[in-house]
Amino acid sequence: MDKEFPDTRQHILNTARAIILGKGFAAVGLNEILTSAGVPKGSFYHYFKSKEDFGNTLLQDYFDRYLARLELALRAGAAPASAQLLRFFKEWIDTQSCHEVEGKCVVVKLGAEVADLSDTMRATLQQGTSRVTAVLATCIGRGIAEGSIAPALDAQKTAQVLYQMWLGATVLGKVHRTRQPLEDALDATYALLGIRH
């Protein structure tokens, strides 16, 4: 008999996220996800129209959770904006340079793969990454206003450059199996934001 879960849809997403972060989207079949989740195939189609719909929902769920944590970490009044950003990027190094799948960046793992497979999933990635840069830009703007970040910066462009740099550094860290690209990105972040080490 199949197990009962308080939220079967979320249980499928949570189970699949770990598997897909390890193997990629195309390499994982629905049977593997459903067997790992302990739910019947009918449950999957009750919640998702197709594997593409499931993948798109997985991305939306990831961004919703990620942005909730990011907004909390970079909220106004908790600490100087520069300190909040540095803490966020140092945590990025810790989560993205370890071998554990939990906490890995879905954008890094799936971005290039699914952008070519599905325009719907590409659009969700675009919207999600734009939301991330908007939160970063708000924090950078606050740092400029309070004087903890260099005053001559354009907050939106700086947020885009930082996010692009950190995504690229994460990919290179995976390729070279070292955290050095992330450490280099942190040094560049200090320099770009005008923050002393």
Indicate whether 106 and 178 sit together in one domain: yes
Same domain, 69 and 133: yes
Domain total for the chain? Answer: 2
Q: Identify the domain containing residue 178 by its residue range.
A: 51-193
- The verdict on 55 and 32 lying in the same domain is no
Is the domain of 76 the same as that of 148?
yes
Residue 149 sits in a domain whose CATH number is: 1.10.357.10
Quote the pLDDT of residue 1: 34
Cα–Cα dist 159/178, whole Å: 25
CATH of the domain at 30: 1.10.10.60
* Res 2: pLDDT: 46
Distance set, CA 66 to CA 1, 5, 43, 48, 62 (Å): 34, 23, 26, 22, 6
Q: Give pLDDT, residue 103.
A: 72
Burial of residue 149 (number of CB atoms within 10 Å: 0-12, 13-18, 19+): buried
User: Is residue 128 located within the same domain as residue 40?
Assistant: no
Question: Could you read off the pLDDT tens digit of each residue along the chain, which spans 197 residues?
Answer: 345 567 899 999 999 999 999 899 999 999 999 999 999 988 899 999 999 999 999 999 999 999 999 999 999 887 999 999 999 999 999 999 877 666 788 999 999 999 999 999 999 999 999 999 999 999 999 999 999 999 999 999 999 999 999 999 999 999 999 999 999 999 999 999 999 88
The verdict on 75 and 25 lying in the same domain is no
What number of other Cβ atoms are within 10 A of residue 47's Cβ? 16
